[in-house]
Amino acid sequence: MQHLTALQRKQEGAHYTPHALAIFVARQMCKAAEIAPKTSTLRVLDPAVGDGELLFSLLKEIHASRPISIKATAFDTDLTALKQASKRVSSTAYPRIRANWRGESFLDFALTASGEFDLVIANPPYVRTQVLGQHQARTIAKRFGLEGRIDLYHAFLLGIAKVLKPGGIGGVIVSNRFLTTQAGRVVREQLMERFDLLHVWDLGDTKLFKAAVLPSILLFRKKSNPHKPRTKFTSIYSCKKPKKHAVEAENIFDIVEKRGMFMLPNASTYRVTQGKLDAGQTPGDVWRLSTPKNDAWLHCVDEHTGLRFSDVGKIRVGVKTTADKVFIRSDWHDLPKDTLPELLRPLVTHHNARRFKAQNAEQQRRILYTHCMADGRKEPVDLSQHPRSQRYLETHREQLEARKYVKNAGRKWFEIWVPQDPSAWDKPKLVFRDISKEPTFWMDLSGAIVNGDCYWMTASKPENERLLWVAMGVANSRFIAAYYDARYNNKLYAGRRRFMKQYVESFPLPPPDSKQTKNIEECSRAIYTGMGSTDCTGLQWELDKIVANAFGLGVEDLAAT
């Protein structure tokens, strides 16, 4: 991969497989395949061969298991990498290999192929919609029946499903995002329909790749009979427990089949959990690790749940201007007062994030907000009624008009691309960060606009406004962190969690008229009022106890998962 720059690797999703990981995947595939003595020729495929590490490892493991004739096929659009892989495999002492090196797209091949291969090993490229471009993303999505924000590896997985023989074995390294995101729903559904999943390894933040990739491994068999095995699930994530509780180990693959806490030579500590895959009740549900302890914990929570966050109100992402340097500035105060745009509004961003109540209010940024409500409809403002704003925007007209997608959508050149609902800003809003180590939810009563680096929700009806305070209390409690890890466990490096809309919508609340709900509301309001002026540590500890009890738990149970 030395011939690619860092930018090219990102654009092409070329994160080549580390040697130890390649050996592990190949070994697991050979165990699952149980290659029969009578097999004449084994057909093997790597649809994105790269430097050949995976294919080379698989051929080596097959040879060690049972010398056999092999026909290997390898695809890659990077002809330099393909040539390197060809040299590597042809230099092996294993003579019974016929190789077909194809410098073309596997996805084109997969559209017309079917059931040709006994074994498929792959680390397909990770390229998201934003990098692929809208046209290419739509084309791939249409060809493979995908929806939403796709990633290139989604299409590779479905292509592999087409070319693998019934009973054939696949071992694929993919981003773990698809396990729990809305974008991965179709892929999860298709995998369950077409394969018997044998084992899923979520390798989390183990840093096996040089790039910031959080990998998972899928080991599956193409369906050939109605028998459906129970899928094993292994999860490995870093943890902060005292190192005295950890067992020393040499590397990740020394601990992958064990359970407990382990410390590697670099002093990193990981928790390994073994269980089964819970794929949910309906097709496309998020996939999670199931253990008896975890399942009992979640069952207790569900038994005490009266509402979900989605019952309180709609969750939205903040505004997206697509020209922040024009609309959002930290130096508005440097402009002469007689030129300051009239349309400036206070803006909440992740810079203000703090649990319960925003911080740095005096340093709050402002946004030139170009939308209003007229006759119950969202509309761009009439700039002629705001002359200073008009003069300011005219000085940036060339930049704003360069946003062709605004014009193509029939919008005015000065509009914010995603303005959200102008009538909602003055309502009480529960705001939260997308990515943070701990849940960070706060109430905004200032009428500020929320930036696109945060999510926000308002009550769907006036009587639900009190439930916003309850939701804030639950979301900022130790309970919700434990719930998140048990239900989703979508973490990035350094233990940072993703508080995406689809997760937060399903966060539980106790019954709305219960005594515990009233206590949560009162405690949440008290912490909000005291933030910044008094020590609220005691109140927050009390809130943790109240929330845990509301869901049938004790504070000591919040680490049970």
Q: Which of 153, 123, 125, 149 is nearest to 137 (CA)?
A: 149
Q: Which of 155, 144, 171, 152 is nearest to 45 (CA)?
A: 171
Q: Determine the pLDDT at residue 138.
A: 77
**Sign (positive/negative) of CA torsion 482, 485, 487, 492?**
positive
How far is the C-alpha of 219 from the C-alpha of 438, rounded, in Å? 32
Beta strand 269-278 pairing with 232-238? antiparallel
117 forms bridges with which residues in the sheet? 164
Do residues 355 and 472 make contact, with C-beta atoms less than 8 angstroms apart? no
- Numbers of helices and strands, H then E, in the chain: 21, 27
How far is the C-alpha of 37 from the C-alpha of 55, rounded, in Å? 22
Reading the block at residue 330, the tokens are: 């930290």
Burial 139-174 (b: 16+ CB within 10 A, else e): ebbeebebeeebbbbbbbbbbbbbbbbeebbbbbbb
Look up tokens 């092996």; give the residue. Answer: 92
What is each CA distance from 189 to 186, 193, 286, 546, in whole angstroms? 5, 6, 10, 38
How far is the C-alpha of 172 from the C-alpha of 157, rounded, in Å? 8
Q: Determine the pLDDT at residue 13.
A: 44
Per-residue DSSP letter, 451: B
172 forms bridges with which residues in the sheet? 122, 218
How far is the C-alpha of 274 from the C-alpha of 290, rounded, in Å? 9
238 forms bridges with which residues in the sheet? 270
Q: Determine the pLDDT at residue 5.
A: 47
Print the SS3 string covering 283-344.
CCCCCEEECHHHHHHHHHHHHCCCEEHHHHCCEEECEECCCHHHHEECCHHHCCHHHCCCCE
Sheet holding 449-450, edge to edge: 328-329, 365-368, 344-348, 449-450
Q: What is the dihedral of CA 309, 310, 313, 318, to 10 degrees?
A: 90
Q: Which of 15, 429, 413 is nearest to 209 (CA)?
A: 15
Reading the block at residue 450, the tokens are: 């929320």
Print the SS3 string covering 342-358.
CCEEEEECHHHCCCEEC
Question: Residues with Cβ < 8 Å from 73, sequence gap 6 or more?
Answer: 43, 44, 45, 46, 99, 100, 102, 117
The single-letter code of the amino acid at 553 is: L
Q: Which stretches of the chain drop beneath a pLDDT of 50?
A: 1, 4-14, 560-561
Look up tokens 């008094």; give the residue. Answer: 534
**Domains of the chain by start residue, with CATH:** 6-234 (3.40.50.150), 294-313+459-561 (no CATH), 319-423 (no CATH)
What is each CA distance from 383 to 322, 339, 378, 388, 394, in whole angstroms? 19, 15, 15, 9, 10
Bin 472: left if φ > 0, else alpha if -120 < ψ < 50, else beta: alpha
Reading the block at residue 561, the tokens are: 């998962």
How far is the C-alpha of 195 from the C-alpha of 160, rounded, in Å? 11
Q: Which of 529, 424, 431 is nearest to 472 (CA)?
A: 431
Q: What is the dihedral of CA 183, 188, 190, 192, to 10 degrees?
A: -170
Q: Which of 320, 431, 419, 315 is nearest to 377 (CA)?
A: 419
Look up tokens 């992740």; give the residue. Answer: 350
pTM of the model: 0.84
Helix (H, G, I), strand (E, B) or coil at 270: strand
How far is the C-alpha of 14 from the C-alpha of 163, rounded, in Å? 22
How far is the C-alpha of 353 from the C-alpha of 431, rounded, in Å? 9
Q: Determine the pLDDT at residue 561.
A: 41
